[in-house]
Structures are given as C-alpha cells and as structure tokens.
Amino acid sequence: MRHLAALVLTCTAAHAEVPRVVTDIPPVHSIVAMVMGDLGAPDLLLEQGASEHDFQLRPSQMATLADADLVVWIGPELTPWLATALEARDGGGAVLGLFADVGTYKINYFAGGLTDDQHDHDEAEGHDHAEGMIDPHVWLDPSTAQYWTGMIAAELSRLDPDNAATYAANAATASATIAAAEAEAKSLLEPVKDRPFVTFHDAYGYFITYFGLSPAGTIALGDAAAPGAAHLTGLRGLIETGSVVCLFPETQHDAALVGQMADGSSARIGAALDPVGSTLTPGPDAYPALITGLARTLADCLKDPA
C-alpha cells in the first residue's frame, strides 16, 4: 500500500511538471495541442465565432492567462487585445511570439490584388492595411506551421525537459500530419489555380502564395475598414469583364455586399471562407481541417460546373 501511494505521488508530480499553456487563436491552439499530445491540453482564449482582431477577455480567461507557464500566440500584429492583457498580468510565465520569430516566413498584404489604376488611394475612405504592411495571417502557409511544431516543441522541452523526447516525437508527427493536409489541399487546388477569384478581405496572401492561386482582388482591404466607393467601382468593373470566376464571402462578415458585387455578372458566389478556423471544433484536428477546408471551399466554386 505504501508503494502504491508513492507511485501515485510520483505520477502526480510528473503530471504537474507539464507546462500550463495558453494560446490565442484556433490554428495556434491546434498546433500546440498536436505537440503536447497526451501530456496535456492547451487553453484557447479566442471563443468560437469571435473575431481574432477584437476580443474581450472574460475574468476567468484573465485568471487562466495569469497562471500560464507558457503563452503561445501570433503577436500584437494580430491580437492586440492579448498584448494588453499580457502587459497587465502578474507572474513570470514564458511567452512565445510566433510572428516575431526570424524563421517565420512573412509577406506584405496584397493590397486588394488590384492594379494601381483600379485601386482606391483616397485617404478619406481609409483602410487598415497600409501599403507595404506585413500580413500577420502567417499560419495559412502550411510550411510555416510545420516550422512552428519544432519551435513549440523546443520551448516546451525547455520548460519540461523530462518530456523533451515526447515533445520532439509529437512535433515530428504533427509536421507529417500538416504535410498530408497540404498535399490534399494541393491536389484539390491544382486544377483551379489559374482561375481568378475575389475574397471578402485581404487575409489569404500566404495561402494564395503557397498554392500558387490567382487572386483578382478583395472587397474590403481590412477587417475594420469599410471599402471605399472608388475601390468597389474598380473591382465591380473587373468582375463585369467576366474574368472573375468566383466571389467568396467570409464568416463573421455580412455576405450582402458579396452578392451585390456579383449581381448581374457571370461570377459565382462560393461558400464562406473561415481563415482563422473560428467555426471549427478546437483541438489537434483543427489546423489540418482548416487547410483542407479552405482548399475544398475554393475548389468547389472555381471548378467547372458538372
């Protein structure tokens, strides 16, 4: 009996050494969950259906953040609300900023995908994606997500060296899982990669670049900015030429404007895109589902009708 009690205490102590991890958005949460595996489950701050750019933490979430041994997030470029909370929290937990890492591949916003003649430069109409501004939607490049598995495993191993081998093995498995999702997405998109399309806002640059797709423009230039009249006129003119195959609405945004832009043209309206996976069930399967889901949604509209 004494030996059994000692064994229970030993197992409890080992379990307690696993870091308490908090993440910001579903894709990051999913990748961390894959790397942690059966050792533990990270907490996700962003709730289903909520915007990653504008979110109010509940008191219970603030408490979870304060108790975290490690916070893994994109960075203040995407979730400024978390930057404020991190500055206010008590405690000395570690913070891993994925966007700031020098190995994270970064590109500038596409600025709507229009030519200079079509693009609206009227400052009075305004937008929040300035020319030359780096796009923080970096998780939409699957090769970046694979790179992060190693980063996350290394940080978890630093905090929990006894389980370093497990984190490394889990990271390798996670990378292979992401590679399989990338391969499935590529097979879906390869036949339609040359077909122009319009998205609701400029959030898909990494996905478009990685898979070699053909963006024609975006309706809104940012999450918080209403599209200007000149921008919409230029985009509408492009759509009316018949060169745009599909327009895609987006979760969390009203689809009415997408319908208005497509009205009377040959362009089809696809299903809503969800760049942050806000409608997916959180967990290790969410990131692969995000990548394949985006690919399937795009391909279903862009392919030739049956």
In this model, does residue 51 exceed pLDDT 80? no
CA–CA gap between residue 81 and residue 58 (Å, rounded): 12
Residue with token string 């996670």: 174
In the chain, where the domains are located: 19-109+134-183, 192-302
In this model, does residue 12 exceed pLDDT 50? no
CA–CA gap between residue 168 and residue 116 (Å, rounded): 47
In terms of pLDDT, which residue wins out, 105 or 112?
Answer: 105
Q: Do domains 19-109+134-183 and 192-302 have the same CATH topology?
A: yes
Tell me the two tokens of residue 18: 């696993």
At 233, the amino acid letter reads T
Look over the chain and give the mean of its residue pLDDT values, rounded to a whole number: 86
In this model, does residue 215 exceed pLDDT 90? yes
Q: Could you tell me the pLDDT band of residue 222, with boundaries at 50, 70 and 90?
A: low
Let me know how long the chain is: 306
CATH no. of 19-109+134-183: 3.40.50.1980
| Bridge partner residues of 73 (DSSP) | 97
In terms of pLDDT, which residue wins out, 251 or 5?
Answer: 251
In terms of pLDDT, which residue wins out, 306 or 71?
Answer: 71
> What is the CA angle 92-94-96, rounded to 5?
150
Predicted local distance difference test score (pLDDT) of residue 117: 36
Predicted local distance difference test score (pLDDT) of residue 70: 97
CA–CA gap between residue 91 and residue 199 (Å, rounded): 42
At 300, the amino acid letter reads D
Architecture of domain 192-302 in this structure = 3-Layer(aba) Sandwich (3.40)
Query: What sign for the dihedral angle of Cα 260, 261, 264, 268?
Result: negative
Strands 197-201 and 21-23: unpaired
Lowest-confidence region among 1-10, 124-133, 187-196:
1-10
Residue 92 phi/psi, 5° resolution?
Answer: -115, 30
Summarize pLDDT for 138-195 with one digit per residue, the tens. 999 999 999 999 999 999 999 999 999 999 999 999 999 999 999 999 999 999 999 9
With a pLDDT cut of 90, the percent of the chain lying above it is: 64
CA–CA gap between residue 6 and residue 109 (Å, rounded): 57
pTM (predicted TM-score): 0.87
Give one word for 244, left, alpha or beta, with left for phi > 0 and alpha for psi -120 to 50. Answer: beta
Q: Could you tell me the pLDDT band of residue 126, with boundaries at 50, 70 and 90?
A: very low
Predicted local distance difference test score (pLDDT) of residue 229: 85
Lowest-confidence region among 68-82, 210-224, 290-304:
210-224
